[in-house]
Copies of this chain bind each other. A is one copy, B any other.
Amino acid sequence: MPTKTFFNLSEPKRKRIFSAAVEEFASRRFSEASINQIVKEAGISRGSFYQYFTGKEDLYLYVLTEIGKEKISAAVPHQVSDNEDFFTAYLAMIKDILAWARERPLYTKIWMLMEFDDSEFIAKLTAQFPNAWGRLRELIERDKKLGRIRPDVNSDMVIQILYNLNLHFQKAIIRRGNLDDLLPQVEELVKILRGGIAIV
C-alpha cells in the first residue's frame, strides 16, 4: 500500500507516477522493471519514490489495484441466462476482453507479462486472485448437469485450453494491433472444442 504521503500528492503528480509505472510494467516483466526508469519518466527523485512506496512490489500492487478499479467500472458484467450455453457465454466473454484489450493495450500488456514472470512475488500474487476463468468453469459444470456437455470431460482441461489460447490471441493483438481476424479464430476454436476434429 502506498504511503499517506503519496495520497497527499496532487492528482497530476500521482497520475504522472502511475503512468510512468504503467509504461514500465507494460514493457518489461515485473522482475526486470527498473525503478530508476520509472522515477526518470515520472520526473521525481529516487528518494521521493521510497517516500511513496516501500518498493517495486508496493507500486506494482497499487498499479494493479487502479487498473482493477477502472476495469470494474468500465466493463458491464455479462449476464448469463440458462438458455445461453457455455459456448456462447464464452464467446461473449472473449468479445468483452478483446474490446478491453483494444481500449487499454498497455494494461493488457501488463497482464500478459505477468503471465510470463516466474518470480516469487508474481507467483504469490496470481495465486491469490481467483480469476475470471473460475466462473467459466462453473458454467461448464452447469452445462454438464443440463446435458449439454459430456460429463466425462475434464473441466479443468477445457479451461486450460481456453485460457492458453486466449493468451495466444492477446499476444497476437499486441504484435499487430488488428483484431478483426481474431474473432473468426476464436469461433474456430469454439467449433473444434464443441465437436472435436475427428471423423467418427
Which A positions have Cβ atoms within 8 angstroms of B?
A: 87, 116, 118, 123, 147-150, 153-154, 157-158, 160-161, 163-165, 167-168, 174-175, 185, 188-189, 191-200
The secondary structure that dominates the A interface is: helix
Name the B residues within 8 Å of A199 (CB-CB). 147-150
Q: Closest B residue to A155 by CB, please name it.
A: B197
Name the B residues within 8 Å of A147 (CB-CB). 199
Name the B residues within 8 Å of A198 (CB-CB). 87, 148-150, 194-195
Min CB distance A123 to B, Å, is: 7
Indicate which residue in B149, B165, B194 contacts A161 across the interface (CB closer than 8 Å).
B165
Name the B residues within 8 Å of A153 (CB-CB). 188, 191-192, 197
Min CB distance A53 to B, Å, is: 25
With A and B bound together, what is the CA distance between A160 and B164 in angstroms?
10
